[in-house]
Amino acid sequence: MGLFYYSSLWLMLSLKELQTPVSTKIFWSKIWYRPTQKALTWLQMDLSAG
């Protein structure tokens, strides 16, 4: 997994946040919050390892 993957994933989620109604936002945040946190953790490990 590279930096491009993480940044595009984050961008996609951010755009989704901007265009969704509140109820959908709550739904998506529950699904996406944990994976995003994991992705950020992996990214930090990648950067510190590299």
Find the domain containing 28 and state its range. Answer: 3-49
CA 30 to chain centre: 12
Render each residue's pLDDT in the chain as its tens digit; 50 residues.
677 888 888 888 777 777 778 787 777 777 777 778 888 888 888 888 86
CB neighbour list of residue 40: distance below 8 Å, 6 or more residues apart? 6
0.85 exceeded by pTM: no
CA atoms within a 13 Å half-sphere pointing along the CA-CB vector of 45? 7
What was the pLDDT predicted at 18?
Answer: 76
Closest CA to 27 of 38, 17, 12: 17
Domains of the chain: total: 1
DSSP string, 6-23: HHHHHHHHHHHHHHS-HH
